[in-house]
Amino acid sequence: MPNRLRAAYAAGSVGTGGFGTLPGLVLSYYLTDTLGVAAGLASLVVTVPKIWDVVVDPLVGRLSDASARRTGSRAPIMLVGAISLPVAFTLLFAAPWTGGAAAVWVVGAFLLATTAFSLFQVPYIALPAELAPTPAARTRLLAPRIAVLALAILAFGGGGPIVRDAAGSGRTGYLVMAVVTGVVMAAGMVVAALGARRRGTTSTPARGPSSQRQGSILAAYRSAIDVLRDSAPLRALLAAFVLQALAAGAMLAAAQYVATYVLGQESAVTGLFIALVAPALLVMAPARRLADRVGKKRAFVASSLLFALATASLMFMTAAVGWWVYLAVAVAGVAYAGMQLYPLAMLPDVIAHDTHARPAGHDRAGVIAGVWTAGETAGLALGPTLALAVLAVSGFVSSAGEGPAVQPGSALTAVVVIFSALPALLAGVSLFPLARYRDHQPFTEAR
């Protein structure tokens, strides 16, 4: 596996990290504290486009498989997504109105952005099973990608608010942030689409009735249902990952509120992000060696337990805050690195196992990637939804951008719960489906 190929594949995580981080981090806050959208309505705004994403991901997966069979490459679909995402992402933070009208604008722009991202992300996730022939090789391929993902999360999560504040905060600041980060995301995605390709493996185009059914919408959903029914490893791994995505989504959505209303400074969100992500860069190589020594599943379980303990300790913010908050977040960041690396390294093994069990030329890598992306998207989307719903019932007061509103004690407690106890509980629950995953299943090399 050439280093050039590993680097090109890893570059795609620039887009994944940016789009997976910034909307989850600042969109809820943008809606409630800049556009004056009530928390209850804002929860619907961040949810509806993600529901669409869950619907469209299996279709993109089916389309991706068709492209791979016909041309031997998933790159054309990835390029469409890479080029269209910056435009849609800029529109997302360019709402010209406030209140309900702004909510409608954001929903429309978010629908476009999630569709563009799906066109890139679904085939991108399917690639490791095709680029790397063995489980160990897939772990080596995924490790640089997770390192780049951690860097991207750090850069976008920490740097995005800095760009916003440097541009004057408010609407102008968010718009400048969207333009700058959109261009950077597109660059990484284009590199991955052009540089991480299968070579010399073009399949014979499918003929007859099966090819006629390839574009059927119902067939795409039937394929998604079939793969979930057929693959017990996929069901177990996906359930654990979705619960953890829900935990991460809720924690991410609460970070800006914690910075503003608990730590007392809006810009403190940058420090929280550095504490969360920077330690992950230091532990990526040891995390890979741990998986080689004890197995990916055991390493995944250990990371999940550490994350649950670290986030649960943040409940003490209801009593006092200080330097220890950043330390606890840093420990959670170390654990979160493993919670990203291990399941993403296990997924290509699941794909290879499914491919080996099926006749030649009938692989479902794109379908599995579509199901996985839909599940991850649902978890990350429902995290902010859950966070905003809790804020709504706690009596949180929205603002039209004239500075943070004075919040009741119940809202301040809710912010801490969303950032700490809630993700800890979800990470703990994720261990139950993970226990059903068999780490030593006969995953053999994909053809």
pLDDT tens by residue, 124-162: 988 887 887 777 777 778 778 877 887 888 889 888 989
What digits encode the pLDDT tens for the residues 66-123? 888 888 788 999 999 999 999 999 999 999 999 999 999 999 999 999 999 999 998 9
For residue 443, which phi and psi values (nearest 5 degrees)? -75, 115
Question: Residue 198: pLDDT above 80?
Answer: no
Under a CB-based contact definition with an 8 Å cutoff, are residues 400 and 36 in contact?
Answer: yes
Question: Residue 41: pLDDT above 60?
Answer: yes
Q: Buried (b) or exposed (e) across 220-253, using 16+ Cβ within 10 A?
A: beebbeebbeebebbbbbbbbbbbbbbbbbbbbb
pLDDT at position 357: 66
- Nearest Cα neighbor of 379 from 146, 51, 92 is 51
Tokens 């991706």 locate to: 64
Distance CA(315)–CA(426), nearest Å, equals 15
Distance CA(78)–CA(84), nearest Å, equals 10
Under a CB-based contact definition with an 8 Å cutoff, are residues 95 and 184 in contact?
Answer: no
State whether residue 322 is helix, strand or coil: coil
What does the pLDDT average to over 194-203?
A: 60
Number of other residues whose CB lies within 10 A of the CB of residue 3: 8
What digits encode the pLDDT tens for the residues 335-373? 988 898 889 888 888 888 777 766 555 667 778 887 887
What does the pLDDT average to over 5-18?
A: 91
Distance CA(352)–CA(141), nearest Å, equals 15
Compute CA distances 75 → 118, 193, 199, 321, 335, whole Å. 13, 5, 12, 48, 33
Under a CB-based contact definition with an 8 Å cutoff, are residues 424 and 311 in contact?
Answer: yes
What digits encode the pLDDT tens for the residues 230-260? 888 899 999 999 999 899 888 888 988 999 8
Tokens 């299996």 locate to: 58
| HSE-CB of 138 using CA atoms within 13 angstroms | 26
Under a CB-based contact definition with an 8 Å cutoff, are residues 335 and 310 in contact?
Answer: yes
DSSP string, 68-104: HHHHS--HHHHHHHHHHHHHHHHHHT---S-HHHHHH
Distance CA(302)–CA(304), nearest Å, equals 5
Helices and strands (H, E) in the chain, number of each type: 18, 0
Per-domain boundaries in the chain: 3-196+219-434
CATH fold label, 3-196+219-434: Growth Hormone; Chain: A; (1.20.1250)
What digits encode the pLDDT tens for the residues 211-233? 444 446 677 778 888 888 888 88
Question: Residue 184: pLDDT above 90?
Answer: yes
Under a CB-based contact definition with an 8 Å cutoff, are residues 16 and 339 in contact?
Answer: no
pLDDT at position 68: 84
Phi-psi bin for 233: left (phi > 0), alpha (psi -120 to 50), beta?
alpha
For residue 431, which phi and psi values (nearest 5 degrees)? -70, -25
Structure token pair of residue 138: 């897939």
Tokens 């504490």 locate to: 275
Under a CB-based contact definition with an 8 Å cutoff, are residues 60 and 119 in contact?
Answer: yes
Distance CA(192)–CA(100), nearest Å, equals 38
Global pTM value: 0.71
Under a CB-based contact definition with an 8 Å cutoff, are residues 48 and 381 in contact?
Answer: no
DSSP string, 32-56: HHTS---HHHHHHHHHHHHHHHHHH
Distance CA(436)–CA(430), nearest Å, equals 11
Helix runs in 93-169, H state only: 99-126, 128-131, 135-166
